[in-house]
Amino acid sequence: MADYFKLLGLPPRAALDEAALQQAYLEATKTAHPDQAGGDAALSAELNAALEALRSPVTRLKHLVDTRSGLGWRAIPLEAGLMSLFEKLGPLLQQTNAFLTRKQAATSALAKALLASEEMRLREALEGLNELIEQEWQRLEVLLPECDERLATGDDAAWKDVQAMQAKFAYLTKWRAQIRERLLGLML
C-alpha cells in the first residue's frame, strides 16, 4: 500500500489542514500530470487517490492506522453517545421508508395532501438528527490534534483510539448518507 502522506510530502497526522493538503497535492501534480512533459499517468492517478484518501477523516485515519500502527482490523463497539444516535436513526429510517411507500401509492391530490403533515414531521426529524450527527462529527474533528500529540509521544494506546475514532467517523458518514437519501426521497 502506498504511503499517501509520504507521496504528498505531508506529515502523517490525524488532523490535516485542508489548505495544506490542497497545496501539497498541487505541488506534487505539477510535474506528474500526464499533460505535462515527462508526466506520469500512474503517478498522477496515485496522487489523485492520495488526495481523496487524506481529504476525509474517515479514510485519512484508516490510512494512518493501516500504514503506521501495525494494528489489524477489529470490531469497534458503539459508545453510548453514538448508540443513542443509532437508536434514534433506526426507527426514523423505518418510519420514513414506510411513509415513502405510502406516498408512492398515493395517486390522488387528496391522498397526497393528507400525507403532507407526516412528511413535514419526518423531514424535520431527519434534519434534526442530521444536526446531531454533524455536531458529533465536529466534536470528533476537534479531538484529532490531541490524537496527533499522543501519537507523537509514543503512546501505544493512542493507535487503538485513532482506530476507534476512524470507526466513529465511518458510522457517522454512513448515517449522513442514509439521512440524505431519505430526505431526497421525501423531495420527490
Sequential DSSP letters for 95-146: HHHHHHHHHHH--SHHHHHHTHHHHHHHHHHHHHHHHHHHHHHHHHHHHHHH
CB 81 within 8 A of CB 118: no
Rg (CA), the chain: 21
Q: What stretches of the chain show up as alpha helix (H) in DSSP?
A: 4-8, 18-32, 41-55, 57-68, 80-105, 109-114, 116-152, 157-187
Sign for the pseudo-dihedral over CA of 67, 71, 72, 74? negative
Rounded Cα distance between 186 and 171, Å, is 23
Rounded Cα distance between 85 and 55, Å, is 25
- Comparing CA positions, the residue from 22, 19, 20, 24 lying closest to residue 6 is 24
CB 21 within 8 A of CB 66: no
pLDDT in tens, the chain (188 residues): 799 999 999 999 999 999 999 999 999 888 888 887 777 888 889 999 999 999 999 999 999 999 988 787 778 888 999 999 999 999 999 999 999 999 999 999 999 999 999 999 999 999 999 999 999 999 999 999 999 999 999 988 899 999 999 999 999 999 999 999 999 999 98
Please give the grid coordinates belonging to residue 73: 482490523
Q: Which residues contact 182 (CB under 8 A, 6 or more apart)?
A: 93, 96, 97, 100, 122, 126
CB 32 within 8 A of CB 7: no
CB 82 within 8 A of CB 59: no
Rounded Cα distance between 25 and 51, Å, is 7
